[in-house]
Amino acid sequence: MISNLKKLWFAGLAIWLAFSLQNCTQPSTDKAAAANENTATAPDEFYGPEDFNKVEKFDTHVHFNTADSTFLNQAKKEIFRLLTINVNPAYYPPIEKQRDIAIQLVQAYPERIAFATTISMEGFEEPGWEEKTLAYLKDSFAQGAIAVKVWKNIGMELKDRQGKFVMIDNPKFDPIFDFIRQNNKTLIGHIGEPRNAWLPIEQMTVAGDKNYFSKHPQYHMYLHPEYPSYEAILNSRDHVLQKHPNLRFVGAHLGSLEWSVDELAKRLDKFPNMAVDMAARIPHFQYQAVSDWQKVHDFFIKYQDRLIYATDLEVDNEQQPAQINKNASEVWRKDWQFFTSGEKMKVPKVEKEFNGLKLPREVVDKIYRKNAEKWFLGIAKNKV
């Protein structure tokens, strides 16, 4: 009896195991079949994390304040080419020195880096400023500059003899912009600040802005109500685009319209020769994706030809090269995850969770490479 019962028990176990195993294997067989079907109908519609090290990418907004090339090797490893941008904050080396560094790097690593020059505002009201500035640009172009940056000191810092702020639509800039256009170069404009700059620190939407404006109170416009308003500064920028419709313009930092994809869309509709770089403003997309993922996703699909990937990474002698590389690698990979995956994500600069945008491959190719090549002519002259 006992042995018969045992036999029955074993037979039962065998049948149960057979069923269980079948149930286990069944779904994965289905999955495999589905995957095969997908590959057959839509090959490689999306990129995965493993593609990060295979896809050619640009980061079109970095600042090299040293000729140390450690970071360029990191960029090479991670398949990035760079655009280093000269700019004139007081805490940076003089712009001539920045240009020397850039030229040195471009000559040594033409396949890896290009550069944007900038203009000096010294003596803006003195006679000869225009000639001097045009000569500096001519020289910069001859040495390989592919773009020119204007910075937020215009509109937020410099005053004329009457004590009024110099705005970017001041007619004295017109011959400069004409010259840039005639030379088929791109104007990069970091004009204004994130709208958060006009708010008290505790009301700012992302941690990066809270941190920056705590450390740079001179640009925290909430503390300076006598300065031009956010709207006045952006209107002056828009006025330049109206006056120079054929000038190729890249608004740095999402053209200071980082807080609303709707507002940014309006400007992109109005100015067909305007694109924007995303430098240091991706958290603002992520912040908007917390409450309206679909809207941000659809914005990327609609304006896929006007958005250029960039970070604003700084390379100088004060940081350890290993630290710069580690930081860059983390930022680049996290951004890649945001654009390519649909995963739930958390980043230090945004308080709440949001989902990745899971953009199609062709859109990812545009924001990482094709748009850079289109909006910064000559950036890809020296193919890897």
Which chain residues interact with Zn ion by CB under 5 A?
312
314-342 burial, b for 16+ CB within 10 Å, e for fewer? bbeeeeebeebbeebeebbebbbbbbbbe
Shortest reach from residue 379's CB to Zn ion, in Å = 17
Rounded distance between C-alpha atoms, residue 123 and residue 127, angstroms:
8
CA dihedral 29, 32, 34, 36 (to 10 degrees): -140
Rounded distance between C-alpha atoms, residue 50 and residue 338, angstroms:
14
Exposure on the CB side of residue 334, measured as CA atoms within 13 A? 18
Q: Which of 88, 113, 89 is nearest to 103 (CA)?
A: 113
* Residue 186 host element (H or E): strand 186-189
Shortest reach from residue 353's CB to Zn ion, in Å = 28
Shortest reach from residue 69's CB to Zn ion, in Å = 20
Query: Given the complex with Zn ion, which of 258 and 312 has the nearer CB atom?
Result: 312
Query: Given the complex with Zn ion, which of 101 and 364 has the nearer CB atom?
Result: 101
Shortest reach from residue 313's CB to Zn ion, in Å = 9
Shortest reach from residue 72's CB to Zn ion, in Å = 18
Rounded distance between C-alpha atoms, residue 378 and residue 149, angstroms:
16
Q: Which residue is nearest to Zn ion (CB)?
A: 312
Query: Given the complex with Zn ion, which of 98 and 236 has the nearer CB atom?
Result: 98
Query: Given the complex with Zn ion, which of 289 and 307 has the nearer CB atom?
Result: 307
Q: How many CB atoms are located within 10 Å of the residue 264 CB?
A: 24
Shortest reach from residue 188's CB to Zn ion, in Å = 9
Q: Output the six-digit token pair for 247.
A: 């000038």
Sign of CA dihedral 215, 219, 220, 225: positive
CB 41 within 8 A of CB 291: no
Query: Given the complex with Zn ion, which of 169 and 312 has the nearer CB atom?
Result: 312
Query: Given the complex with Zn ion, which of 193 and 312 has the nearer CB atom?
Result: 312
Shortest reach from residue 280's CB to Zn ion, in Å = 7
Query: Given the complex with Zn ion, which of 188 and 363 has the nearer CB atom?
Result: 188
